[in-house]
Amino acid sequence: NWDMGSFIANAIEEIRTKVGDKQVLCGLSGGVDSAVAAVLIHKAIGDQLVCVFVNNGLLRKGEAEMVLKLFRDNYKIRLQYANAEEAFLSALAGVSEPEAKRKIIGKVFIDTFYSEARKAGEISFLAQGTLYPDVIESKSPSGGPSATIKSHHNVGGLPEDLKWDLLEPLRELFKDEVRALGRELGLPEVLVTRHPFPGPGLGVRCVGEVTKERLDTLRDVDAIFIDEIRKAGLYHDIWQALACLLPVKSVGVQGDERTYEEVCSLRAVTSEDAMTADWFRFPADVLQRAASRICNEVSGVNRVLYDITSKPPGTIEWE
Ligand code: XMP
């Protein structure tokens, strides 16, 4: 069986041998794979690692703060923080079509990431949290000469002036093993067991137009939904739970007033691999508490739907 102690010792040895006295750049996403890769590499080479964290303005509530606190303050990893919210939001202004949104988000991400990388000095390696299933899926040549950014960002090769080799210390591991490794390296349980979150973030959950105001509303809705799921002890029974803000308004009555506000949809699914999924059967009282808190606590929302579409025919995300 898999022996973690010897995996870590071997990985550290391999990273040191490969990297020598060169510098490694690692993008942090807030997810478990990049976090584990970064902490493992940091254990091996310390300050030869520079991490970049791009805030695209499409993150969940408190996520940027969590990442900064954990990696900068706790692990003392060199971390460049790019708050690019404005660049993303202005590029997304007026765009509603899902694939157009993804393209824009991918492009602004890459531009921001490369410009941060150029500030980081002489970099020789790009570290990625590629796992074994990603390797199989993409059949990518092992550590080829020109690195590419993980496929969901839809980019080809690197620009001319950035010549990086890939460093992928997790490429032989399955997700469960990455989680176990994360725990061993002291990463908090909330991060290690986090539900998947798409690269384009809340951009594809703000159905229709993406604005700062709608994102803030959605962040509040999402936080309440996840909080109620955790309080009910159901977080780990669910593959992924998400909230979407719909481009629909509905009439409601709150207090003595008629309101005309936005509608949100909650979705939770069970799945093995995200290829197929079934909607999660919540106890009614959990949905009731979430819905009532959302309408009471989030201004701008007056109606809550629960999505009972399986995949197929629906996808997990709405866009
Ligand atoms: P769908 O919505 O296609 O999603 O059923 C399957 C899984 O993939 C995630 N997802 C994405 N992840 N970039 C990503 O990194 C994307 O553009 C993207 N779209 C969907 C989704 O959250 C689910 O876990």
Percent of the chain with pLDDT over 70: 94
Residue 102 lies in a domain: yes
| Ligand 1 atom nearest residue 240's Cα | 24
* Tokens representing residue 223 in the block: 């936080």
Same-domain status, 221 and 81:
no
Residue 200 lies in a domain: no
Same-domain status, 105 and 224:
no
- CATH number of the domain at 276, please: 3.30.300.10
Section 270-284 average pLDDT: 97
Ligand 1 center to 198 CA (angstroms): 5
Ligand 1 center to 152 CA (angstroms): 9
Complex ipTM value: 0.99
Q: Confidence band (pLDDT; 50, 70, 90) for 144?
A: very low
Nearest CA to ligand 1 atom 24: 196
Residue 318 lies in a domain: no
Same-domain status, 139 and 275:
no
Ligand 1 center to 317 CA (angstroms): 6
Buried b (16+ CB within 10 A) or exposed e, 143-157: eeeebbbbeebbbee
Residue 137 lies in a domain: yes
CB of 241 closer than 6 angstroms to any ligand 1 atom? no
Residue 319 lies in a domain: no
| Ligand 1 atom nearest residue 277's Cα | 5
Same-domain status, 37 and 100:
yes
| Ligand 1 atom nearest residue 318's Cα | 2
Indicate if the pLDDT at residue 155 is higher than 90.
no
> Given 170, 192, 214, which residue is the final one in a domain?
192
Same-domain status, 82 and 215:
no
Residue from 317, 318, 319 whose mutation best tests the ligand 1 pocket (most atoms within 8 A of CB): 317
> Given 192, 225, 241, which residue is the final one in a domain?
192
Same-domain status, 125 and 252:
no
Indicate if the pLDDT at residue 161 is higher than 70.
yes
Identify the CA nearest to 231 among candidates 285, 301, 169.
285
Same-domain status, 144 and 25:
yes
Nearest CA to ligand 1 atom 21: 198
Residue 312 lies in a domain: no
> Given 154, 171, 192, which residue is the final one in a domain?
192
- CATH number of the domain at 111, please: 3.40.50.620
Q: pLDDT tens for residues 34-70?
A: 999 999 999 999 999 999 999 999 999 999 999 999 9
Residue positions in the annotated binding site?
29-35
Q: Confidence band (pLDDT; 50, 70, 90) for 156?
A: low
Residue from 202, 316, 319 whose mutation best tests the ligand 1 pocket (most atoms within 8 A of CB): 316
Q: Confidence band (pLDDT; 50, 70, 90) for 126?
A: very high
Same-domain status, 27 and 73:
yes
Indicate if the pLDDT at residue 209 is higher than 80.
yes
Indicate if the pLDDT at residue 145 is higher than 80.
no
Indicate if the pLDDT at residue 150 is higher than 60.
no
In sequence order, which residues have a C-beta less than 8 Å from that of residue 280 and are 6 or more positions away?
A: 234, 237, 238, 241, 268, 269, 270
Residue 214 lies in a domain: yes
Please tell me the distance from the alpha carbon of residue 230 to that of residue 247, in angstroms, as a whole number. Answer: 28
What domain range is 277 assigned to?
Answer: 205-306
Identify residue 226 by its one-letter amino acid code. Answer: I
CB of 240 closer than 6 angstroms to any ligand 1 atom? yes
> Count of domains in the chain?
2
Same-domain status, 265 and 186:
no
Mean pLDDT of the chain, nearest integer: 93
Residue 263 lies in a domain: yes
Residue positions in the annotated binding site for ATP?
29-35
Same-domain status, 169 and 250:
no
Q: What dihedral angle (degrees, nearest 10) is formed by the CA atoms of 189, 8, 19, 76?
A: 40
Same-domain status, 188 and 121:
yes
Same-domain status, 125 and 186:
yes
